Amino acid sequence: MMDGHNGKKKLHFLLFPWLAQGHINPFLELSKALAIHGHKVSFLSTPVNISRIRPSLQLQDWPGRIDLMELPLPPTEGLTPGAECTADIPTEMAFPLKVALDGIEKPFRSLLRQLSPDYLVHDFVQYWTQSAAAEMQVPAIYFCVFPPASFAYAFHPSKFRNHDITAEELAAPPFGFPSSVMRFRLHEARDLLVMYRGIPGHIALMSRFAKCLEGCMAVIVKSCFEYEEKYMSYFEDAIGVPVLSVGPLTRAVRPGASGNGSDHSGLLEWLDRQREASVVFVSFGSEAFLSEDQIHELALGLEASGLPFLWSIRFPRYSDGGHDPLGVFPEGFQIRTQDRGLVIKGWVPQVRILSHPSIGGFLSHGGWNSAMESLSFGIPLIVLPIQLDQGLNARQIASELKAGIEIERGEDGSFLRENICTTLTMAMAGEEGEKLRSKAAKARDIIAANKQSHIHDFIQKLEQLAEDYKNKKQVM
């Protein structure tokens, strides 16, 4: 199929992310970027996830198109029916969710044969997509949603091939790593060991990733900062697979969009009444859930800071008994802070909030999607990492981008209300706050300049790689 605008062939991509909102969102933004450039995308997920995506694609007019495709999960022991995303479940149900996803390998193979796309873009949990693509001679691309620096550190062969890795080994940067400031804390490394060692009788997450690399045509990452090139080159040399950038892939603000069928006019009206750059937005994303003790310390730290705040608090949907948002806070907290604080349980329009002029800082878990969204509006970050790559991201934001500050923690990972209060005050006021805002504004300009330029370059490089890939297969 030819593109009538420039005479070039329209490509067909099948995109298949892992069932986590932090993966689905960047895959969806990549789909939009490809459709804007005239290409066709088949976006595959489960029925619940597709139903959530569909409203965001309505009334869009692009040269290309996005077709939403569903494959239902089989009934799986330990997994509540209808739980199809990690944002909906407690941590202990994440493993059955992986087992359920493995159960759709056969229908996926049938779908891949039926669609016969030019490229398969997949995630690393469903490692079997790689072998299916190889059998059908569809070039496969692994899309890494983690930033290049964290990816090069945590996914280095010296780590994912070491099935007996210790916390001390995981905390140490791989040999030749191009940064002296990025490393896991020991408590973070201990929490991650199960990803490398796995559960007896089942494939470990890092073993899934290793299988994804076997025969993979390329790895693609979200990147727009010049310093990230050193991490991409470092990792490309380590794994022997081309690493390409698709740009920042940040979400745009959609005027009037409330999302998820919710009316957030009251929230936005509250923000309208606040002074410019005065409010701290507090959110830990869709999958990083705080314990009750952590919620208490965070709440009391916010209270002690005296700053206006908007706190979006989430709990797993399929958790025992549900949660009363009033019940998890320190006694009297909401009454004492009602004149300057607003607590919202559940989903909020994060991009619209971050784009509001009253927001002056973002207290976040350091998930890279949220971090890039914050910086795309010039909002500095106050980072409190909870899990996965977030610790590395926090060090990158604070030490390399210098557009945020990390909250101090104890050796066991604990933090106190005093740590919260001190860091918030530092980030939102005075000379340190001015420096952070200046760096965040520079990051905003870089992200804006790279919003679309990378996709065109990516497609050109991809077509050349595809030609090399085809010639290599013919020789074999």
Q: How far is CA 363 from CA 258, 312, 383, 390, 408, in A?
A: 22, 11, 6, 13, 13
Which of 289, 297, 291, 281 is closest to 315 using CA atoms?
289
pLDDT tens for 238-269 read 999 999 999 888 877 655 444 444 567 789 99
DSSP 397: I
Q: How far is CA 17 from CA 44, 105, 207, 228, 440, in A?
A: 8, 14, 17, 23, 30
pLDDT tens for 380-414 read 999 999 988 999 999 999 999 999 999 999 888 88
Report how far residue 36's alpha carbon sits from residue 51's, in angstroms, rounded to the nearest whole number: 22
CB half-sphere exposure, 422, CA atoms < 13 A: 9
- pLDDT at position 320 is 46
Residues 6+ apart with CB under 8 A from 255: none
* pTM flag (> 0.85): yes
Count the neighbouring beta carbons within 10 Å of the beta carbon of residue 366: 30
Helices 128-135 and 205-213 pack at an angle, to 10 degrees, of 20
DSSP 408-465: P--TTS---HHHHHHHHHHHHSHHHHHHHHHHHHHHHHHHHHTTTHHHHHHHHHHHHH
- pLDDT at position 160 is 87
Count the neighbouring beta carbons within 10 Å of the beta carbon of residue 338: 10
- pLDDT at position 259 is 46
DSSP 54: G
Q: Please report the domains of the chain, with CATH numbers, ordered by start residue.
A: 12-250+451-475 (3.40.50.2000), 265-449 (3.40.50.2000)
Report how far residue 230's alpha carbon sits from residue 220's, in angstroms, rounded to the nearest whole number: 15
At residue 178, the 3 state secondary structure works out as coil
The single residue listed with the structure tokens 């199929």 is: 1
Tokens of 12: 């067909």
Report how far residue 219's alpha carbon sits from residue 241's, in angstroms, rounded to the nearest whole number: 7
The pLDDT tens digits along the chain (476 residues) read 444 344 467 899 999 999 998 899 999 999 999 999 899 999 999 999 999 999 888 777 788 899 999 999 999 998 888 899 988 887 778 889 999 999 999 999 999 999 999 999 999 999 999 999 999 999 999 999 999 999 999 999 999 888 889 999 999 999 999 998 899 999 999 999 988 988 887 888 889 998 888 889 999 999 888 889 999 999 999 999 999 999 888 877 655 444 444 567 789 999 999 999 999 999 997 777 788 899 999 999 999 999 999 999 887 665 544 555 557 889 899 899 999 999 988 788 999 999 999 999 999 999 998 999 999 999 999 999 998 899 999 999 999 999 999 999 988 888 999 999 999 999 998 888 899 999 999 999 998 887 766 888 888 888 888 776 666 655 54
Report how far residue 419's alpha carbon sits from residue 143's, in angstroms, rounded to the nearest whole number: 36
End-to-end CA distance of the chain: 29
- pLDDT at position 4 is 39
Report how far residue 254's alpha carbon sits from residue 151's, in angstroms, rounded to the nearest whole number: 30
Which of 353, 384, 345 is closest to 367 using CA atoms?
384
Tokens of 64: 């290309």
- pLDDT at position 95 is 87
Helices 453-475 and 21-36 pack at an angle, to 10 degrees, of 90
